[in-house]
Chain A
Amino acid sequence: METAIAVKDVQVSYYGKQAISGVDFEIDQENVIGIIGPNGAGKSTLLKAMLNLVPLDSGTIEILGKPLQDVRKQIAYVAQRNQYDWDFPINVLDTVLMGTYPNMGMLRRPRKKDREWAYECLQKVGMEEFSKRQIGELSGGQQQRVFLARALTQKADIFFLDEPFVGIDIASEETIMRLLKDLKQQGKTVLVVHHDLSKAHDYFDQLILLNKKVIQYGTPSQVLLPDVMLQAYDSELGFLQKVGASL
């Protein structure tokens, strides 16, 4: 199986403060991978580094064997929901249609077949009956499904999702998870920054446990072990114990 993402000895800092350093791992294609770790562990920073949104202090990142700049269009990104202006005058179908932009040249406009493809992707997430709604009128789970539909429209090979399950309903979560597994069956690679450890076991083929660096990388049963988790969540656990003691 081919390597989808190769991260080699990557360091990123903000304003002179190291967010992640010595991060090193390789991901094979056809995987659904979760990135877990405590708050401030650098999960979003790692994601941004892989999306070429922040400069690297050192190290390299290759996607599909090529430098990031050459494979941008093969990468689809679903940001956290709080990133968007939900009052923006745009409806569901036009939002999904944006997924066709990366593979459309400058000065080109979406055509009928692009609209049909966007609608098809909207059907995959079960949101076609809402196609004319303004995006702010949807529930959190529906909004997340729409943005997944937009990512599907892009026909990408690598999918990055940042905390997609925060504040959404169970039905939407299941729909999204089912589609991510479908993508894997189609040979795609999916990376999800994830918070809820209780479901990590069922959702992911591999987990990357992060706390400034990679603490552990492997199958859920290799990562979700008490002594391994303790290494990453040490500071938070120490805090909890202190709070517990004072009560």
Chain B
Amino acid sequence: MGFIEGLIQYDFLQKALLTSIMVGIICGVLGCFIILRGMALMGDAISHAVLPGVAISYAIGINFFFGAVLTGVLTAIGIGFISQNSRIKQDTSIGIMFTAAFALGIILITVLESSTDLYHILFGNVLAVRPSDMWITLVIGAVVLAAVYLFYKELLVTSFDVTMAKVYGLRVGLIHYFLMTLLTLVTVASLQTVGIILVVAMLITPAATAYLLTDRLSMMIFLSASIGAASSIIGLYFSFTYNLASGATIVLAATALFFIAFLFSPKKGVVWQHFSARRSRKQAINQ
């Protein structure tokens, strides 16, 4: 059966498509700030750090959203605390804290013998999206997009010139943790679609692709969201048609789009630069 027919016929596929498009959009939007602040590793860390929260939530029977946000934010605070109160650098601190949280999560899932399927949390299974999951994703998506819209100015100035922001009295620490909270929310929204392990790809790959295509932040955010959504649609198509893990196909679709931009982006693409360098050499010789 074809993808389009399946889409018309099956409710679950419609939900999967809607959910993964939303995930593609919000990961793309937030990812722009993550890569411009040099926080790709932080994105990876927070996404892994939600695991113990998910395990505890399932064990005590609450929605995994609450536990995930709690352990994600706690880990972000822990990372900040260690790097600010010792000579340990930020990336080292991230490495220590997120692996610890992740390891704790694995033990909790084993010990609590919860009904959660570790494999699905780690790698996602968008075709098994329940209506409640879809609604959580849509609500989180709306919250994240509204937050980025409302605090665009603060996010921009703290990403580009944190010193200026401090000088005029902006609470840059608060903005950092605000962004970490949004990051946790996005991770939770992405759990079903791409899973914990691959969330970071959805955060940075579409944003990096957009970064190669434009010199304006507003355009970068728009492109990144579009590329994220396109990756989701293409990935879901391959996942459904060839019965492959959705997280993996979505991420590879995003990677393919990245390499197209890497090679052929006007001005910044490798191929273009090669030809323009050759042309200027020829001109130099002819003169």
Do the two chains bind?
Answer: yes
Pairwise interchain contact A53-B160, C-beta atoms closer than 8 A: no
| CB under 8 Å from chain A, chain B span 182-221 | 211, 214-217, 219-220
Is the C-beta of A186 less than 8 angstroms from some C-beta in chain B? no
Residue in B152, B156, B161, B220 with the greatest tally of chain A CB atoms within 10 Å: B161
Pairwise interchain contact A98-B215, C-beta atoms closer than 8 A: no
Nearest opposing residue in chain A for B219, CB measure: A89
| CB under 8 Å from chain A, chain B span 129-173 | 150-154, 156-157, 159-161, 163-164, 166-169
Is the C-beta of B70 less than 8 angstroms from some C-beta in chain A? no
Q: Which residues of B contact A110 (CB under 8 A)?
A: 153
Q: Which of A88, A94, A95, A102 contacts B168 (CB 8 A)?
A: A102
Interface residues contributed by chain B, number (CB under 8 Å): 24
Nearest opposing residue in chain A for B154, CB measure: A106
B2 CB to nearest A CB, Å: 39
Is the C-beta of A170 less than 8 angstroms from some C-beta in chain B? no
Pairwise interchain contact A101-B153, C-beta atoms closer than 8 A: yes
Is the C-beta of B41 less than 8 angstroms from some C-beta in chain A? no
Q: A106-B154, A109-B152 are in contact. Are A89 and B169 (CB under 8 A)?
A: no
| CB under 8 Å from chain B, chain A span 147-164 | 154
How many A-B pairs with Cβ below 8 Å?
Answer: 70
Interface residues contributed by chain A, number (CB under 8 Å): 29
Pairwise interchain contact B167-A52, C-beta atoms closer than 8 A: yes
A88–B38 CA distance with the chains assembled, in angstroms: 11
Other 8 A-B pairs with CB < 8 A, given A79-B163, A108-B153, A109-B152: A73-B168, A84-B161, A89-B219, A89-B220, A90-B216, A101-B157, A106-B151, A107-B151
Residues of A whose CB lies within 8 Å of any CB of B are 51-53, 69, 72-73, 75, 77, 79, 83-85, 88-91, 94-95, 98, 101-102, 104, 106-110, 134, 154
What are some 27 contacts across the A-B interface (CB < 8 A)? A53-B166, A72-B167, A72-B169, A73-B168, A77-B163, A77-B164, A79-B161, A84-B160, A84-B161, A85-B36, A85-B160, A88-B36, A89-B214, A89-B216, A89-B217, A90-B160, A91-B216, A94-B217, A98-B160, A98-B164, A101-B153, A102-B168, A102-B169, A106-B151, A107-B150, A108-B153, A110-B153
